[in-house]
Amino acid sequence: MAASRKPASPSTRAQSNAPKEQTGEGGELHQLAAPGGPVLTTQQGVPVSDDQNSLRIGERGPLAMEDAHFREKIFHFDHERIPERVVHARGYGAHGYFENYAPLTDITSADIFQRAGERTPAFVRFSTVAGSKGSSDLARDVRGFAVKLYTKEGNWDIVGNNIPVFFIQDAIKFPDVIHSVKPEPDREFPQAQSAHDNFWDFVSLTPESTHMLMWVMSDRAIPRSFRFMEGFGVHTFRFVNDRGESHFVKFHWKPKQGMQSVLWDEAVKINGADPDFHRRDLWNSIEQGDFPEWELGVQVFDDAFADSFDFDVLDPTKLIPEEVLPITRIGRLVLDRTVDNFFAETEQVAFCTQNIVRGVDFTNDPLLQGRNFSYLDTQLKRLGSPNFTHLPVNAPKCPFANFQQDGHMALVNPVGRANYEPNSWPGDQRGPREDPARGFQSFPAEEVGAKPRLRASSFADHYSQARMFFRSQQPIEQQHIVEAFVFELSKVESPAIRERMVGNLRNVGDDVAQLVADGLGMTTLPPASPTTVEINDSLAESPALSILANPPESLAGRKFGILVTDGASAAQLNALTAAIHDAGAIFELIAPKIGGATLDDATQVAATQKLGGGPSVLYDAVAIIASKLGGQQLAAQPAAKDFVNDAHAHGKFIGYTPGAQPLFDATGLTALMDAGYVSLGGKAAPKSFVRTCAALRFWARLVPPAGA
């Protein structure tokens, strides 16, 4: 990165122990100790001058390892939980491979990108962040998207999320943001939820989190499936080629089956009906041969672009819009094998951001620098030994040799006399040696500057991209963001925290702040929170940030729920299931009894779910194929009424035969039937219904009338 940016002004430096809340580095607000209050110290009792910024070389330089306060804080945080992960505890993984499209020798020497069509083994773990191992899959949360690539020159871990930005700019604040979102320590609830005072107190005092909050309150935080969400490397990395030339790179995983999320009401009900919904979906898709697939895309750029871009590319709370810098797709990731044992593989897999390979390197992103320091320490605590790399899921699949020895549960030790180097023993007795030609070499970036604790002035704009994200959403998506803020802040007991957060939202836009304030019952709009730099209101909208603006190309991988009764038409059922199969989708049969139903041709069909155990929230579209008597019987069953009421309320497409009419009458839906209800009568009707369902939802049903 060119070092041409202006140094931070004195006003951006940390100002600790002031008697009131004030603006600190980069414009973030800190609730400072009141006069006479306790002074923050290290565990050794040493007063802390700055708890907001880690020590670095130069304004935008790398982390200094001598930062004892950061080391102690992260060390203690990393060791808080045993044995499950402190964060990302609830996860699910699968094996697969990465296939490279074309040689990338001009930009990177990474072996994985040198040959077209070559497949590299991979292990991927998806996870939530805040909840414990026993929490539910559909929490509103960031999703971890961690990929371990077993390359021929060592393991490369891309430890990312399904959101391209993060809450904080400096890793020294990671313990604080996670402490705030975890169950409150005096009561140990709420579980896997951010809807409580501690979280919103912290983020309302940390304006750099505003962009991330827009994402987490959006539909991105409640994905329909791991298969239907994007993944991001979050940070800016480097590609380095054989000539030692460096380019900056950001990593993106694009789902081949498109993006899709659920509504909040669906998420709540899915968690009750099937708390393992995402796990089950991934397992079933792989077992059925419908292998999840993503394309790896990269944004590659140089120093000139970095210096011309509106924001600092080292700031992990910012992104580079695809419309500004298009994504080049360079390979595909396919998951084709479930694990043999969950504990041995998914639970014991250890991802570390510092696991990179020749041809890939780090930048001075302060959050990445801190993660590199933290992850190895975390794995030592969690897995109990420095030999966790001996576990099969963590071990390289290429030859490896070193002089590391002993330790708890060592499975591999050096053979022979030599356990050090250099040594003078002959031939094979001397052991492994360096390889200057093929060995990893760090890019020789020049670092210059003082050794301060500060936040770079180029990191100070916390609202412009948050505003861009909101404006880039479709109206129904914007409505969901507002509703999410209202729901979460309604759970906050302190009015001051609610008001402070709405004050921050005014910097995103008075429109969104007013809607949230109205939803909270605020009679007046609080003043906008102070900003350090002027908000850039000229950023162009980025349609790539909207899920609805980028619909899937087909129904592949989606699931239909078909409610069937005794005496239902076999011809209509067969025609519908054939149309679903032809569209690349799948279906489950739901019946009043798990034994299934006897159709009008005396065929007995088994049910996948019993009515009440297979609610409509589990499906992307539903159909009711009922006989006249069967429809009358459904009309008397509360579970059947819930099935269609929820399907209607969630904007699902509903296919039906005439026998279903008594159920619609009993629920009052007859008067509400719209174009999202499709009759299955007629030979061509099933195929037409399935084609209609490609839109995934009948959104017109969910958009409030104008002026409402």
pLDDT in tens, 659-669: 999 999 999 99
For tokens 């792989």, what's the residue? Answer: 286
Residue 123: per-residue pLDDT = 98
Judged against a pLDDT cut of 50, whether residue 33 lies above it is answered with no
Find the CATH number of the domain harbouring 610. 3.40.50.880
Position 180 in a domain: yes
User: How many domains does the chain contain in total?
Assistant: 4
Residues 47 and 39: beta-carbon distance below 8 Å: yes
Total-model pTM? 0.90
Q: Are residues 95 and 238 in the same domain?
A: yes
Q: Measured on CA atoms in the order 262, 263, 267, 269, is the torsion positive or negative?
A: negative
Q: Are residues 470 and 605 in the same domain?
A: no
Range from 65-79, 208-222, 224-238, 279-293 carrying the lowest mean pLDDT: 65-79
Residue 572: per-residue pLDDT = 96
For tokens 């030592």, what's the residue? Answer: 380
Which of 390, 420, 451 is the last residue in one of the domains? 390
* SS3 (DSSP) at 508: coil
Position 57 in a domain: no
Alpha carbons 343 and 349: distance in angstroms, whole number: 9
Position 6 in a domain: no
Alpha carbons 515 and 151: distance in angstroms, whole number: 50
Position 443 in a domain: no
Q: How far is CA 252 from the centre of its chain?
A: 12
Identify the H or E element spanning 378.
helix 366-383
Position 608 in a domain: yes
Q: Are residues 354 and 499 in the same domain?
A: no
pLDDT in tens, 389-406: 889 999 999 888 888 888
**Confidence band for 409, pLDDT divided at 50, 70 and 90:** confident
Judged against a pLDDT cut of 60, whether residue 215 lies above it is answered with yes
- 666 against 387, higher pLDDT: 666
pLDDT in tens, 326-340: 999 999 999 999 999
Residue 153: per-residue pLDDT = 92
Position 570 in a domain: yes
Instruction: Copy the structure tokens of residue 433.
Output: 């040696």
Mean pLDDT of the chain: 91
Q: Are residues 513 and 535 in the same domain?
A: yes
Q: Are residues 640 and 498 in the same domain?
A: no
Alpha carbons 398 and 412: distance in angstroms, whole number: 15
Residue 481: per-residue pLDDT = 98
- The three state secondary structure string of 657-690 is CHHHHHHHHHHCCHHHCCCCEEECCCCCHHHHHH
Judged against a pLDDT cut of 70, whether residue 91 lies above it is answered with yes
Judged against a pLDDT cut of 80, whether residue 456 lies above it is answered with yes
- Examine the residue annotation and report whether 161 is marked as an active-site residue of this protein: yes
Q: What type of residue is 72?
A: E
- 61 against 545, higher pLDDT: 545
Burial (CB < 10 A; 0-12, 13-18, 19+), residue 189, is: exposed
For tokens 């005794």, what's the residue? Answer: 566
Q: Are residues 213 and 292 in the same domain?
A: yes
Which residue in 30, 53, 69, 88 is the catalytic one?
A: 88
Alpha carbons 499 and 492: distance in angstroms, whole number: 11
Alpha carbons 401 and 399: distance in angstroms, whole number: 7
**Confidence band for 32, pLDDT divided at 50, 70 and 90:** very low
Residues 365 and 236: beta-carbon distance below 8 Å: yes
Residue 385: per-residue pLDDT = 85
Q: Are residues 120 and 236 in the same domain?
A: yes
Residue 64: per-residue pLDDT = 84
- DSSP state for residue 539 in the 8-state scheme: P
Position 492 in a domain: yes
**Confidence band for 74, pLDDT divided at 50, 70 and 90:** confident
Find the CATH number of the domain harbouring 234. 2.40.180.10
Range from 181-185, 229-233, 439-443, 505-509 carrying the lowest mean pLDDT: 439-443
Residue 17: per-residue pLDDT = 31
Alpha carbons 501 and 206: distance in angstroms, whole number: 10
Question: Which residues 6+ apart lie within 8 Å of 36 measured at CB?
Answer: none
pLDDT in tens, 685-701: 999 999 999 999 999 99
Distance spanning both ends of the chain, measured CA to CA: 51
pLDDT in tens, 590-631: 999 999 999 999 999 999 999 999 999 999 999 999 999 999
Alpha carbons 343 and 45: distance in angstroms, whole number: 40
Q: Are residues 482 and 528 in the same domain?
A: yes
Instruction: Copy the structure tokens of residue 411.
Output: 């499975």
Tell me what percent of the residues of the chain surpass a pLDDT of 70: 94
Range from 217-226, 315-324, 377-386, 579-588 carrying the lowest mean pLDDT: 377-386
Residues 702 and 477: beta-carbon distance below 8 Å: no
Please count the CA atoms within 13 angstroms of the CA of 333 that sit on its side-chain side.
26
Burial (CB < 10 A; 0-12, 13-18, 19+), residue 426, is: exposed
pLDDT in tens, 267-310: 999 999 999 999 999 999 999 999 999 999 999 999 999 999 99
Residues 284 and 577: beta-carbon distance below 8 Å: no
CA–CA–CA angle 88, 54, 369 (5° rounding): 55
Instruction: Copy the structure tokens of residue 282.
Output: 């991934």
Judged against a pLDDT cut of 70, whether residue 38 lies above it is answered with yes
Which residue in 155, 161, 355, 504 is the catalytic one?
A: 161
Q: Are residues 376 and 412 in the same domain?
A: no
- Picking from 62, 89, 58, the residue whose alpha carbon sits closest to that of residue 372 is 62
337: containing domain: 68-390
Residues 388 and 350: beta-carbon distance below 8 Å: yes
Alpha carbons 224 and 289: distance in angstroms, whole number: 19
Judged against a pLDDT cut of 50, whether residue 1 lies above it is answered with no
Q: What is the dihedral of CA 86, 91, 95, 97, to 10 degrees?
A: -80
Q: Are residues 95 and 125 in the same domain?
A: yes
Bridge partners of 361? 238
Q: Are residues 613 and 686 in the same domain?
A: yes
Average pLDDT over residues 95-123: 97
Q: Are residues 137 and 168 in the same domain?
A: yes
Q: Measured on CA atoms in the order 444, 446, 452, 454, is the torsion positive or negative?
A: negative
Judged against a pLDDT cut of 50, whether residue 8 lies above it is answered with no
Position 38 in a domain: no
